[in-house]
A = this chain, B = another copy of it.
């Protein structure tokens, strides 16, 4: 890791810069894939599985034998899935927004109601290992939200099958629409539908460059997506109390995700630099994905600053996806967070707790999106509709205000919509007076 000591504020933008990529070529490739799926449907998915996943599929449907195999996953894994599911459920179930009615003017009642997005698509990456945790992190909140149709796409493994643990989770949750499709083609299938895979209104889930570009492309065409994507990242703030082996293990958790992972360590104590570097070397050797982690560390940074306050300012200027605070009084420091996806407080809160099982969602804004985006929550699977009901008294009270503003904006029909109502009320009152 590159070590930078006591940088000036002027140097911060350069230090905090994330790598830029030229995505033009990737975009063109992905647009072609999407076009193929739109025009040729399932057969394109089967062609791509042959080409990219090296498997021959009869159909993108999951076979009965695969569903059966789901019952045979190890008991320990089942227990772990169940614990994670319960915690995720417990944390997310309180996120369903509540309706509050406000009478803003006598006779004018306004309220909001969160409604489920009816059709959602979840992309669960496969690759070297199936991302069980991602499935839980997306499906549990979707079910709390009340989405009536949950469609899942995941790439087949080398045997052309869906991983039994993924199907185990699907069965536990009662999700039946699981399809064998991966990559940009799976995103296209969920965006536009094929003979077998239904089109959805919003697509969730992480993936490789092709998947994230495909999400970006279909989002331009009216299909909502969870979050714009970028390489995963962590920033750790540590003082002299931090244990080097804890710091190193958390840095490596991030680094093993991919060579483009962003790993930043902000220290207030120079004496920690060497022990952390040493712990990194020791732990690296034990990792099956050590080459990936090593490559990520090469463009990562250790930044030495004067105190924890300055460290927090630096973090707020970076807006990390994950922020770990390993300092004395980390809880107090956490109050000063302005921009971060998820914050891990104290030495016993590794990022992997949030990645898997503490209950918080691990689908988070990266690449600086934490300046303006939230991670996935139950709200991500809902949309809010506003309602208003106005009584005759209400429109009398509010009428002149509406008409004045409509006139100022030169929108006469808007003014007239109130005018015709006030006239009708006047006639009615006069009629009543005459009759009375």
**Chain A interface residues (CB < 8 Å from chain B):** 76-77, 79-81, 83-84, 86-87, 90-91, 94-95, 100, 102, 104-105, 108, 110, 112-113, 115, 117-118, 128-133, 165, 201-202, 216, 220, 222-224, 228, 243, 245-246, 249-250, 252-253, 255-257, 283, 286-289, 293, 330-331, 334, 337-361, 364-365, 367-375, 377, 379, 382-392, 394-395, 398, 400-402, 404-406, 408-421, 424
Contact = CB atoms under 8 A, between A and B. Distances in A.
A388 B342 contact: yes
B388 A358 contact: yes
A91 B110 CA distance: 7
Given A373-B224, A385-B342, A356 B417 contact: no
6 contacts: A94-B102, A118-B339, A129-B408, A130-B408, A246-B421, A342-B388
Nearest to A108: B358
Contacts of A343: 385-388
Given A246-B420, A339-B115, A388-B353, A395 B129 contact: no
A102 B90 CA distance: 8
A117 B370 CA distance: 9
B348 A394 contact: yes
Nearest to A82: B401
Contact of A128 (B84, B375, B406, B410): B410
Contacts of A257: 411
8 closest pairs, A vs B, by CB? Answer: A80-B404, A104-B359, A129-B410, A224-B372, A252-B413, A374-B384, A350-B417, A352-B414
Given A80-B405, A220-B216, A405-B84, A371 B118 contact: yes
Contacts of A334: 387
A408 B369 contact: no
Identical copies in the complex: 2
Contact of A402 (B330, B356, B409, B420): B356
A287 B413 CA distance: 7
A338 B113 CA distance: 10
B387 A421 contact: no
A421 B347 contact: yes
A350 B421 contact: yes
Contacts of A394: 348
A54 to B, nearest CB: 19
Q: Which of A100, A130, A401, A424 has the most CB of B within 10 A?
A: A401
B358 A390 contact: yes
Contacts of A80: 400-401, 404-405, 408
